[in-house]
Structure 1
Amino acid sequence: MERPSLLTGANGSGKTTFVDALLTLIVPEKRYRFYNQSSGSEKKGDRTEESYVLGGYSTTHSDNGQSSRTLYLRENKEVAYSILLAHFSNEADQFVTLFQVRWFSGSEMRRVFAIAHKPLHIEDDFRPFDTSGTWRRRIDQQYNKGSRKQVEWFDAASRYAQRMVEVLGMQSMQALSLFNQTMGIKVLGELNEFIRTNMLEPRNMEQEFQELKKHLSTLIDAQRNIEKSEEQIRLLQPLKKHYLTFREQSGLAQQARTEIDTSKIWLKYTKYHLLDSYVRQQEEELRSLRRKDEEARMELQNLREEERTTLNQLEQNKAGQRLQQLEKDRELLHQQVKEAEKASERFSEWCDLLRLDENKPADEASYMRIKREADRTEKRLATEIRNNEEDAYSAQDQLKKATEEKQKIETELNILLNSKNNIPSHLINLRRDLCAELKLEDHELPFAGELVQVRGDQLDWQPAMEKLLNPWLFDY
């Protein structure tokens, strides 16, 4: 309310009943609510929900004063009921209606709590009232149609109170207790104690402090672990560098091995391809020669038949001797022609194999040109073969050097991993050999650098000390 209100009236006019009705709507749970607070402590507790529903208005005493009886306006519980309703609104035209309904089912009181998000009125929305629940179904049919529910029903006072706190925008349930205390307050007493008891939420400060202390301890442990991890990472940095170098050299060695394997495979593939091509050519040439041989056999057979016929004729002819001589000369020339043709065919095949522009000489001049070109091709192929052999030898030499470098780095890395100082590996190996000859242990013949130690809090000066004392750190 924007302005304070004053409630006045004669005794018995209903001021306390009105205040208790409003208190019942706002503070529904009995443990937080006290009726008739303004009447003094001697009368607190003489009014209850049941007496209000039945309409108790007075108390009569017996003649001897030993017994009393409460007078009710509605003594029949079967028809007695009570409807409490209050409507609230704000400047944004938001409406909230709180209402509670009480009636009797036999001797037991029944209660229904509800919150409506629109204005309701007892005469318009609750009449006629009956104890069978028709009034509730009528409100549901009128205001709870579809998915939007304008009336919320509650059977428990605690759920109704929690929802009312949310709808009215209160901070917490403590506000209901404060409202109950201020409704009938007469004497405030100690202000601090009143605020602490009724206006402040109870908090377990000791438990919260212990939780904060536990979280702080957890954070400190986490910080220590982080610092420890950072120091471990810093100490492992040199090892990481050696590992990266080793991995790089291993990669180079693997690459060299791969290139060598590839070159071997390519060499074998090229050799196989050339041999396969040459074999195919020879097979084709063999088939051609077989066909020619067959044709030559047929022709030879025919010639032999003619020869027999001619010999018979020549024997009968006086000029037969001369013809026989000519025949022998012809056969010799024919044999030379065949050899020349075969040589020409082989010469053409060689030209094709060497990929020469001319492969069939027409005369002696063209033959000489082809021969000179063949000589140049022979020199070029010899140069390429020599270069390939040199490249193969260079690749093998690089592989050998890479393997030796890898073994050297691995040995150096193993020595550094097993050593607690930065003394070079060749000096450590030299001492080991010397101790073996003298039949001594390594620690019996220490280097001067192994006897020098920097305090744990001054480790940053260790590299500078080693550089300064380097000339005699390797002495025994």
Structure 2
Amino acid sequence: MTEGLFSSVELGGPAQGAGFRLQYVEVLNWGTFDRQVWRLTPGTETALLTGDIGSGKSTLVDAVTTLLMPAHKIAYNKAAGAEVKERTLRSYVEGHYKSERQESTGRSRAKGLRQNRNTYSVILGVFGNGGYDETVTLAQVFQQRDTVGQPYRFYVTATKQLTIATDFADFGSDLRDLRKRLRSGGAEVVDEFPKYSTSMRRLLGIRSEQALELLHQTVSMKSVGNLNEFVRGHMLEPSDASERVRDIISHFDDLTKAFDAVKRAREQLEALEPIVATSRKYDAALAERDELDLQRAAVRLFIAEHRSGLLAGEIVTYTAEGESLLRRQDEATARQRDLARERESLIEERARAG
């Protein structure tokens, strides 16, 4: 993938009319374009915007520039040769058209067409790629909610054609309802310009931010003092290697510090190895002592269990022996009774015999 200013698809020209071009730009409450939707439709590959001084040429050009560049980088009204900060994003949103001198303070104060904080401003651009039948809409919505500072705004990108009258009107009084409606319609709504810029460059096929910077410079360019410097600064990718060399040196220093830290840690670990070995021996001795304490505590129980087993054996033996003696006793008693009966029988026989 090339990182050049222009896409290889456009340079190769495989399709008729390839490349995104501005189809139309619409503004609502932007600068002196007040209350209604104003549209500029180039309708061709090249357009010439002419008009009297103060007719709004630079206002429309600044609207297109605002769609593509962050506000802090834009020199508003520079295409008309204005001084720095003659116009700002806030002046466009509030519609400043003249300055009034305040008698109490003696200072000049800008007078705007839109002092109501409930009004909102919209700039919208539709870009088409005829060679590939693609359409991209970029839009930004503004609202000056505070008396000082920059206006609140959010960014919109869509892969279809949008218009202010159809998609940015009749949503109520809260811009959150507008955001919800745009999201439900398939548009992407974000609050930060970097996210919006990433989505915009992806949809338009702009691979390098340098291309947008070049566009900004050429839009506001009145004259070129040194063409070589202009081409080198705005049309070529930066080639200064000093920053890269500094990064390499810094990275090498970081690697050196990391190596020294690892080496120092290894030396410390080696110095701690005897302590670790002694600690392991100590832990092993403690474990052995605890094991012997458990065995010593179990000796008394072991002897008691062994003695109980021996006594149980003796009890069984003596019980069997006692039962044998009792049987013999019973046999002797029975024998004694038999002998007694036999004696009595003999005595009776002797008596009968006289």
More strand by share: 2
Q: CA shift at 1:304, angstroms?
A: 2.5
Which of 27, 34, 38 in structure 1 is aligned with 2:69? 27
Q: CA shift at 1:34, angstroms?
A: 0.2
Asked if structure 2 preserves the Cα contact closer than 8 Å seen for 1:81 and 1:101, the reply is yes
Which residue does the alignment assign to 2:216? 180
Can you list the C-alpha shifts for 1:332-367, whole angstroms capped at 9, x where unaligned? xxxxxxxxxxxxxxxxxxxxxxxxxxxxxxxxxxxx
Once residues 92 and 276 of structure 1 are traced to their aligned partners in structure 2, the CA distance between those partners, rounded to angstroms, is: 107
Q: CA shift at 1:308, angstroms?
A: 2.8
CA 1:197–1:293: 2 relative to 1, 3 Å = same
Q: How well do the aligned residues superpose, as a CA RMSD in angstroms?
A: 5.7
Which of 289, 314, 322 in structure 2 is aligned with 1:283? 322
Can you list the C-alpha shifts for 1:206-259, whole angstroms capped at 9, x where unaligned? 5763453233332355368669989x99xxxxxxxxxxxxxxxxxxxxxxxxxx
Which of 182, 187, 190 in structure 2 is aligned with 1:150? 187
Higher Rg: 1
Matched, 1:222 2:259: no
The answer for unaligned runs of 5 or more in structure 1 is 60-67, 234-267, 317-476
Q: CA shift at 1:294, angstroms?
A: 1.3
Q: Scaled by the length of structure 2, what TM-score is found?
A: 0.52
CA 1:44–1:112: 2 relative to 1, 3 Å = same
In the TM superposition, 1:55-454 aligns within 5 A as 75=113, 77-78=115-116, 82-88=121-127, 96-102=136-142, 110-117=151-158, 118-127=160-169, 133=173, 137=177, 139-140=178-179, 142-145=181-184, 150-152=187-189, 154=191, 159=192, 161-168=193-200, 169=202, 179-185=215-221, 186-187=223-224, 189=226, 190=229, 194=233, 206=246, 209-219=249-259, 222=262, 279=318, 281-313=320-352, 316=354
Q: What one-letter code is carried by the residue in structure 2 that aligns with 1:35? A: Y
Once residues 105 and 19 of structure 1 are traced to their aligned partners in structure 2, the CA distance between those partners, rounded to angstroms, is: 25
Can you list the C-alpha shifts for 1:373-425, whole angstroms capped at 9, x where unaligned? xxxxxxxxxxxxxxxxxxxxxxxxxxxxxxxxxxxxxxxxxxxxxxxxxxxxx
Asked if structure 2 preserves the Cα contact closer than 8 Å seen for 1:86 and 1:97, the reply is yes
The percent of aligned pairs where both chains have the same amino acid is 22
Q: Secondary structure at the match of 2:161?
A: coil
Q: Scaled by the length of structure 1, what TM-score is found?
A: 0.41
CA 1:273–1:55: 2 relative to 1, 3 Å = closer
Once residues 257 and 144 of structure 2 are traced to their aligned partners in structure 1, the CA distance between those partners, rounded to angstroms, is: 61
Q: CA shift at 1:84, angstroms?
A: 0.9
The structure, 1 or 2, with the larger RCO (C-alpha pairs under 8 Å, 6+ apart) is: 2
Q: CA shift at 1:113, angstroms?
A: 2.5
Once residues 90 and 315 of structure 2 are traced to their aligned partners in structure 1, the CA distance between those partners, rounded to angstroms, is: 117
Q: Secondary structure at the match of 2:137?
A: strand
Which residue does the alignment assign to 2:7? none
Once residues 182 and 205 of structure 1 are traced to their aligned partners in structure 2, the CA distance between those partners, rounded to angstroms, is: 32
Which of 12, 17, 23 in structure 1 is aligned with 2:59? 17
Once residues 312 and 77 of structure 2 are traced to their aligned partners in structure 1, the CA distance between those partners, rounded to angstroms, is: 117
Q: CA shift at 1:22, angstroms?
A: 0.7
Asked if structure 2 preserves the Cα contact closer than 8 Å seen for 1:77 and 1:107, the reply is no
Aligned residues between the structures: 265
Once residues 189 and 225 of structure 2 are traced to their aligned partners in structure 1, the CA distance between those partners, rounded to angstroms, is: 37
Which residue does the alignment assign to 2:79? 38
